[in-house]
């Protein structure tokens, strides 16, 4: 609830500054109903990369070119990511553009969920803990813009990323690896949090 209030306040602030219209009231769906709702399209799905091998760490500064210097997906994470893809496809949820963080664990997640899809990897989606603090404001603004952009033609947009980015852009913390937060752009430059899908919800839907 806190997060919702925060988001509303923030959206109002953005509107005040940029002259956007006020967002429509947000729904608060989760799990299966949320996935069902996605069939209608028009949502932006922020998927946190799947489970990772915690025995390994990123270097600081991060080396985007060498996945072996990063904290990678665990095998469980990889399996779960594939499962997410199966669920989305079986349910007939239409997916439009897919954006992913250039950090390997996010890119790999996106590729496992959507095999063969063409990925866009914006700089703003890099794990912000690895970005210098001067770039944080610009990254947050860009991510907000992505969240507020309605997907084209009844599909849903997917963003595969990290915790801190969303915390800085929208004030919400995606709790679990392999879980998703669903946003609804209002078409006037603002967005609302529509609901959440836990990693387990995907498992359940797959069964």
Partner 1 sequence: MSLKLTTLRGRLIGSSALAIVVLLVVCFQFLRAFAHQEAVIVRIKEQQITRLEKVGRLMLQLSNNQSQLAALLSDAVEGKVDEAAVFIRGRSAIDAVRSVVSEFNALRPWFDEDAEALSVYGAAERELAAYRGAIFSVVDLCTVDVHLAPVEMLKASGSYVHIVDYMSNVVNLTNSRVAADLDRMQTETKRANAYLLASGAAALLVLVAGSGLFYRDMRRAEVARDLGKAKIDHLAHHDALTGLPNRALFALELDRALARAARGELVALLYLDLDHFKRINDTFGHSVGDELLRQAANRLRGCVRETDIVARLGGDEFAILQTALSRPSDAATLAGRIVENLKSPFVLHDTPAVIGASIGIAIAPDDAKEREELVRNADLALYAAKESGRRTYHFYREELDVRMKMRHQIEADLRIAITDGQFELHFQPIVDLQTDEVKCCEALLRWNHPKRGIVSPADFIPIAEECGLIVALGEWVLREACAAASAWPEKIAVAVNLSPAQVKADALPALVTSALAAAGLAPSRLELEITESVLMQNTFDTLETLHRLRDLGVRISMDDFGTGYSSLSYLRSFPFDKIKIDKSFIDHISEKEDCVTIVQAVTTMAQRLSMTTVAEGVETADQRRKLAELGCTDMQGYLISRPRPAADILRQLRDASAPAESAAA
Residue keyed to tokens 């912000």: 128
DSSP string over 157-202 = EEEEE-HHHHHHHHS----STT-EEEEEE-SSS-EEEEEEE-HHHH
Pick 57 or 120: Cβ nearer partner 1: 57
Residue keyed to tokens 């899809």: 117
Pick 77 or 151: Cβ nearer partner 1: 77
Q: Which of 17, 19, 54, 115 binds partner 1 (CB under 8 A)?
A: 54
No. of helices (H) and no. of strands (E), the chain: 7, 7
Q: Which of 74, 101, 107, 163 binds partner 1 (CB under 8 A)?
A: 163
Is 129 a binder of partner 1 (CB under 8 A)?
Answer: yes
Residue 161's nearest CA partner among 199, 189, 123 is 123
Structure tokens at 49: 């990369």
Q: Which of 120, 175, 200, 204 binds partner 1 (CB under 8 A)?
A: 175
Least Å from the CB of residue 170 to partner 1: 12
Interface contacts to partner 1, rule CB under 8 A: 52, 54-55, 57-60, 71, 129-130, 132-133, 163-164, 167, 173, 175, 177
């Amino acid at each position: 609830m806190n997060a919702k209030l925060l988001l509303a306040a923030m959206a109002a602030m953005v509107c005040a500054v940029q002259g956007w219209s006020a967002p429509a009231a947000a729904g608060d769906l989760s799990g299966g109903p949320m996935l069902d709702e996605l069939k209608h399209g028009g949502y932006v799905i922020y998927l946190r990369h799947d489970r990772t091998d915690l025995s390994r760490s990123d270097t600081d500064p991060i080396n985007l070119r060498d996945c072996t210097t990063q904290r990678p997906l665990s095998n469980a994470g990889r399996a779960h990511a594939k499962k997410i893809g199966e669920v989305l496809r079986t349910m007939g949820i239409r997916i439009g553009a897919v954006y992913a963080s250039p950090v390997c664990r996010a890119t790999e997640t996106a590729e496992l969920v959507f095999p063969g899809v063409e990925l866009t990897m914006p700089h703003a989606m890099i794990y912000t803990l690895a970005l210098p603090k001067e770039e944080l404001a610009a990254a947050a603004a860009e991510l907000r813009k992505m969240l507020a952009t309605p997907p084209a033609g009844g599909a849903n947009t997917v963003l595969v990323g990290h915790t801190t980015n969303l915390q800085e852009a929208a004030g919400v913390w995606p709790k679990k690896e392999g879980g998703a937060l669903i946003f609804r752009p209002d078409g006037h430059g603002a967005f609302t949090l529509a609901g959440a899908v836990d990693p387990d919800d995907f498992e359940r839907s797959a069964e």
